[in-house]
Structure 1
Amino acid sequence: MSSRLPLMLLLLFLPLWLAASYGVRFALMEDGQWVGLCVEQAQRWECQLRSGLGLMIHFRLLAWGALAVAVAGFLLPGRAGWRLALAGLCLGVPALVLYTASLAVFAVVIAGLRLVRR
């Protein structure tokens, strides 16, 4: 197995993860149809998901989680640090897209630096 294979797979995965995050943002969070529908039928699973994501955005849970995991991954040596940095990056990308860019940008940069470090 090539030593560059995990990095190449990561570079293929990240655009897909970014597109999925934007899909959630524009199809679920910003689409006007959900506002009226969720007022009438708040018990639908889509409305519950939208409400939960709204609370996570409000309290910046994704961004803080991404930052904590990315810093832990940056500090830990070896494969464990690389995996934590990958988890921090996977949390940081949706946090960037979902309105908490001020914190998430640090998590993404720290995780990215750890992922390319030997």
Structure 2
Amino acid sequence: MPRALPAALTLMFLALWLSASYGVRYQLMEAGQWVGLCAGPGDHWQCQVRALLGLTIHFQVLAWSGIGLALVAQFAAGRAGWWLAVLALVFAIPALVLYTASIAVFAVVLAGLRLVR
């Protein structure tokens, strides 16, 4: 297997993850249809997912998870540190898109530095 293949696959996965995060933001969190539907009484699973994601955003769970994993990845040796950095990016990229960019940017930078080390 060529040495660049895992890096290329990781970049493709992260690009897809970024586009999925934007899809969640614009199709679920900011779409007017869900704002109106979830304001009234009713049990739609989409409204429950939206409310749970709203709490996750409010408490900055994704951003702090990403920064915690990125910090641990800095001290982990070998492939474990590399995989922790990828996992940190999995948490930090949606945090960037979903309104917690001030903290998540540090997680992305730390995880990116660990990936290229």
TM-score by length of 1: 0.95
After the TM superposition, which parts of structure 1 deviate over 4 Å for at least 4 consecutive aligned residues?
none
Q: Which amino acid counterpart does residue 6 of structure 1 have in structure 2?
A: P
Q: What is the alpha-carbon distance in structure 1 between the residues aligned to residue 55 and residue 47 of structure 2?
A: 12
Aligned partner of 2:114 in structure 1 is 114
Aligned partner of 1:31 in structure 2 is 31
Q: What is the alpha-carbon distance in structure 2 between the residues aligned to residue 112 and residue 85 of structure 1?
A: 7
Gaps in structure 1 of 5+ consecutive residues: none
The verdict on how the C-alpha distance between 1:42 and 1:63 changes in structure 2, with shifts beyond 3 A counting, is: farther
Contact 1:42–1:48 at 8 Å: present in 2 too?
Answer: no
How well do the aligned residues superpose, as a CA RMSD in angstroms?
A: 1.0
* Offset of residue 41 of structure 1: 4.3
Number of residue pairs matched? 117
Aligned partner of 1:96 in structure 2 is 96
Aligned partner of 1:52 in structure 2 is 52
Q: After superposition, what is the alpha-carbon deviation per residue over 1:75-113, rounded to whole angstroms, capped at 9, x for unaligned?
A: 101111111000001111000000000000000000011
Q: What is the alpha-carbon distance in structure 2 between the residues aligned to residue 50 and residue 101 of structure 1?
A: 19
Aligned partner of 1:79 in structure 2 is 79
Gaps in structure 2 of 5+ consecutive residues: none
SS of residue in 2 equivalent to 1:3 = coil
Sequence identity percentage? 60
Q: What is the alpha-carbon distance in structure 1 between the residues aligned to residue 107 and residue 39 of structure 2?
A: 35
Q: What is the alpha-carbon distance in structure 1 between the residues aligned to residue 41 and residue 80 of structure 2?
A: 44
Contact 1:69–1:85 at 8 Å: present in 2 too?
Answer: yes
* Offset of residue 42 of structure 1: 4.1
TM-score by length of 2: 0.96
Q: Please tell me whether residue 43 in structure 1 is matched to residue 28 in structure 2.
A: no
